[in-house]
Structure 1
Amino acid sequence: MQLLLLIPAIGVIYWVFKSRAPSRRDAAAAPLRKHVLAPPASAPACHWQDGGRYATEVVVESAFQGVIRALAGEPGERGADAPFPAVLVPDDLNAYDDKAVAVFVAGQLVGYLAREDALNLRRKLGRGGMAGLPTSCDARVRGGGLWQGKRLSYNVVLDIPSFD
């Protein structure tokens, strides 16, 4: 008899706590609504160069493809390869990674440096007395060509040296 009363009681307690707790999706999205990174208002602390190698790729999520497509212009069949100045901004308030480095092209957020690249850049900035400051480099918006009748995605590559 006591067991029969205990099972519904546990169910009610579970339901009460479950209904009050935010879902994982809500918890993950909440910080994003509060934190919107804007392009820096100040001039970059320095300009990085790596001889035009463009070996560092920006991590581009699907959310940024529209912005990057607009920057690329009409790519034609072969795809885009458009030069732009870029600004790298340490993003300490990023909901997913407090060591993130945002990449802005033409004043618009186009993605982030890969985690290892961001950590290496931040170490370099710290050693140079520029921790937390925006820096700049040259960028190229590439992609969007046609392949088997479909338009390929775009990417952004940076002309920055390896900081490891």
Structure 2
Amino acid sequence: MAIAFELWGQRGYPHADVVGESNYRPAIRAVFGNDFKPHGCETSAPATLTPEPGNPHDRNAVGVWIRGKLVGYLPREEAARYSPILTELTSRGWAPQVNARVWGEEWDEYEGRRATFRGSVQLDLAEPHLIVPANLPPSGEHRELPRGSAIQVTGEEKHLAELTPYLRPEGECWVHVTLHDIVEQTARTSKTLVEVRLDGVRVGQLSPKMSGDLLPAIHHLSAQGIVTVARAIVKGNRIKAEVVLYAARAHELPDSWLGTPATPVVIPGTEQPHEHGPIPGPPAGVRFVVPPGWPAPPDGWTPPPGWRPDPAWAPAPAGWQWWQMVWD
């Protein structure tokens, strides 16, 4: 049985249309159960996106399933864009999920016509390059802060070489970052700030105010020997890049999060007990691509840990190379 994986990049408002709902009216109607109101109602529910490579009408078809029932498909053009990465996820034992908005109404019987149900489904689905992170989470014990509003990282201009491997042709990607407290010493005083690291390498820090909003949570986890993880967007180009965190501030953390044990660490490639068998390695980006025409990397540049030359490009072309994340 596949393990549910909530796709990244969801913004809280489903907007991506699903097609073919008229063929699955009973399944959509069943989503509401006893809470259905004939004059019109809506609800939210997790939807699983399942590629159908054997579909006779479209080899890129992606079915949308809610509560075990097929309720429609991604539009053909959209399915062609999403199918490769969704297929990669499902082949590794994950069931890609997003939040769905389900709407329905039932017309009353009128002049001999039977009552008719109609419904629609929309998905909270980000662009294909934003639905999985571009790197793996830390291998040690860690805890991810709940998603929150944007927090700008400062000092990225000093770490362009470290950020360059994560820049994408689309202009942005999601990553896991870790947060650490550091003491910055000045001539007259010292202050504790939050340092942001990407795969163990410093890529910037937070302002004193933003550091103050996150440090209590970092200290809370650190006292338990747990590393603080947050979601972040890396965006830009070869001359300017920036990092933006999306994490809840300490005062926004619910008591349920503070009291919940840390998520067990999943180590790629290891056999860990699970009721449905081994837990697959966490999803990560399909590949890192450097656009043609970019200059060669600086002397001594090496890809991030876990990346290696893409075997499809052997020997690698001169200058920048293509790299592919793998699970050892």
TM-score bracket for this pair, using the shorter chain length: 0.5 to 0.7
User: Contact (CA 8 Å) 1:122, 1:131: kept in 2 or not?
Assistant: no
Q: Distance in 1 between matches of 2:43 and 2:21?
A: 19
1:75 aligns with 2:33: no
**Greater relative CO, 1 or 2 (CA 8 Å, sep 6+):** 1
1:109 aligns with 2:70: yes
Q: Which residue of 2 aligns with 1:161?
A: 126
Equivalent residues, number: 121
User: Contact (CA 8 Å) 1:89, 1:101: kept in 2 or not?
Assistant: yes
SS in 1 for 2:37: coil
Residue 47 of structure 1 and its aligned partner are, at CA, apart by 2.3
Give percent identity, aligned residues only: 31
SS in 2 for 1:130: helix
Q: Which residue of 1 aligns with 2:25?
A: 65
User: Contact (CA 8 Å) 2:12, 2:124: kept in 1 or not?
Assistant: yes
Which runs of 5 or more residues in structure 2 are unaligned?
Answer: 130-328
Which runs of 5 or more residues in structure 1 are unaligned?
Answer: 1-40
The 5 Å alignment of 1:7-18 reads: none
Residue 76 of structure 1 and its aligned partner are, at CA, apart by 3.4
The code of the aligned residue for 1:95 comes to P
Residues 49-58 or 86-95, more deviating: 49-58
SS in 1 for 2:71: strand
Q: Distance in 1 between matches of 2:90 and 2:46?
A: 21
User: Contact (CA 8 Å) 1:117, 1:163: kept in 2 or not?
Assistant: no
The 5 Å alignment of 1:123-134 reads: 123-125=84-86, 130=89, 132=91, 134=95
The code of the aligned residue for 1:51 comes to R
The code of the aligned residue for 1:111 comes to G
Residues 58-67 or 130-139, more deviating: 130-139
User: Contact (CA 8 Å) 2:2, 2:90: kept in 1 or not?
Assistant: no
User: Contact (CA 8 Å) 1:48, 1:159: kept in 2 or not?
Assistant: no
Structure with more helix by fraction? 1
Q: Can you list the C-alpha shifts for 1:82-129, whole angstroms capped at 9, x where unaligned?
A: 111111011001110011001110011111100121112124447xx5
TM-score w.r.t. length of structure 1: 0.62
Q: Distance in 2 between matches of 1:54 and 1:91?
A: 23
Structure with more strand by fraction? 2
Which of 8, 16, 29 is the matching residue for 1:56? 16
Residue 63 of structure 1 and its aligned partner are, at CA, apart by 2.7
The 5 Å alignment of 1:23-38 reads: none
Q: Distance in 2 between matches of 1:154 and 1:46?
A: 24
Q: Distance in 2 between matches of 1:85 and 1:103?
A: 10
